[in-house]
Amino acid sequence: MPYICPLSASEDRYITDFCEHSLTPITDVHFKDHHQAVSKQDIGFLDYTDEDESTAQPITYVYTYKFAEPRTIGEFTGDQLPFTFIVHGQISPSDCFIIPAVGGGFTSLDGATRRDMASFWLEERPNRVSHSEWRRVRANVSKLASCTRIGLREASGLIVRRDTTDLIQIDNSTGTAKLRFEWVPKNRETEHDFPLLNHRDQAARLPSTGSQAPTEVAVTVMFSLRCTVQENMSEPTGKYYKLHARLLALSQT
C-alpha cells in the first residue's frame, strides 16, 4: 500500500500541505467510549529515518493515522498520514535550550551549557483549566506510547521496552506532567530557522538572552511523535524504543 506525505520534503511544506488534515489536539484523542474514538489499530508507524550518508542513523518511525481507504490530499495519495499534534502550556526555564549559540547549536538560558539540538520542557499553566487538559495529555501520551506493541509488533512475540524519559516526566508528588520537545536544523536550515511564531502567527526573532526567552507564558506547540530504535544487547529483544517529540512550530498565544 502507498503511504501519504514524503516527509523528506521540507517541514514547511509538510505543515502547509497536510496540517489541516492531520492537526490533532492531543487532548482530543479518545481511545474508547467516544464517537471520535481512535483505536490502537488506527495508529501506524512510518519509517522516517534520516538519510545522512555521513553518519549511521538509527531507524526512526513517525506516528501516523491509518485510513480505512486511501485518500488524495493535494498531489499525494496514500493510506496513512503523520499526526500533527498540538498542546497548550508554558515553557519551563529549567533545561531549556532555545538560544542560538555562536558557531552553531543552542545554549541554556544562562549560557553555561551548549547542545547541538534545541530542546525544552512544556508544562501546564497555573490554572484549573490547564490542569484538567494536562490530565488528559498525560493519559494519552501513555496510551500512544503503548501503541508500539501493536504497530511495531515483533515476529517473535516478545515485547520491546519503551523509553519515554526524553518525552514525558511526571511529578509524583503533584501528579503533574511535562513534555519535552526537540528540534534540529535540517537540510539548509540553520539555528535561526527555529520555528518560533509570534501572536500574529509570523516568524519571530529568537531570544539572544535568557531574559528574552518565552518561558512561563502561554504558548501552543505543534509537533510530531516519533519512535527511534536503539540497539541494546542487554534487552531480551536486543533493542528498545525511545520515544520523542519533534517540534514543528512554537507559537506565542
Structure confidence by residue, pLDDT tens digits, 127-182: 989 988 998 888 889 888 888 887 888 877 888 899 999 999 988 887 788 999 99
- Helix intervals (H) in the chain: 11-22, 128-146, 148-151
CA separation for the pair 224, 228 (Å, rounded)? 13
Cell digits of residue 136: 488528559
Q: How confident is the model at residue 3 (pLDDT cuts 50, 70, 90)?
A: very low
Bridge partners, 82 (sequence order): 64
CA separation for the pair 59, 182 (Å, rounded)? 17
The pLDDT value given to residue 175: 76
Q: 66 pLDDT exceeds 80?
A: yes
Across the range 64-75, mean pLDDT stands at 79
Which pTM was predicted? 0.83
Q: Is the dihedral of CA 160, 162, 163, 166 positive or negative?
A: positive
With beta carbons less than 8 A apart as the criterion, state whether 98 and 206 touch. Answer: yes
Percent of the chain beyond pLDDT 70?
A: 83
Q: How confident is the model at residue 8 (pLDDT cuts 50, 70, 90)?
A: very low
Distance of CA 117 to the CA centre of its chain: 14
| Exposure string over 17-41, b if 16+ CB within 10 A, otherwise e | bbeeebeeebbebebeeeeeebeee
Residue type, 238: G
With beta carbons less than 8 A apart as the criterion, state whether 45 and 81 touch. Answer: no
